[in-house]
Structure 1
């Protein structure tokens, strides 16, 4: 039941003895926005730096691999179970199926 008024930095809500109004401070709000903007920018820079380091390392150790790290993520270490079975999703379309472990419970 809270109504925020972002332009006025106020929030109003019903109380037992009438409307409760909470006011913010413009100076503190501007300081928080600037700090969070710097934090977000530093996190993005750090993530991009890790990604770049990974691409450089991959290019140095495996020159035949694609330098695109997104492509290499799909070549992960996931291996399916040794015994699997195909479950048809639609009897009219046998080319549509799911592969599940052969020893899964029917529930």
Structure 2
């Protein structure tokens, strides 16, 4: 597992024989950060995103809620149940199953 030390710009991770330490450059990091800030400041938001943002401000909190997915509403079922076998995934939840084809060649 790699452990970043942001204050020291140092990344430590286990190696094959000992710990690997990768050191960063403070000046280069600062330049990259300033470049990212400049790009973000000069980038224009697409008009479609601006329209969505404007419209979202006009909606009530109830209208902004995302509806929950009803169970089974998005399940895909094959057209012919004869060619498939339902396998229980043994997770303790009877709705968690997998379908496998039953008409395959034994080879």
TM-score (norm 2): 0.45
Larger % of helix: which?
Answer: 1
TM-score (norm 1): 0.45
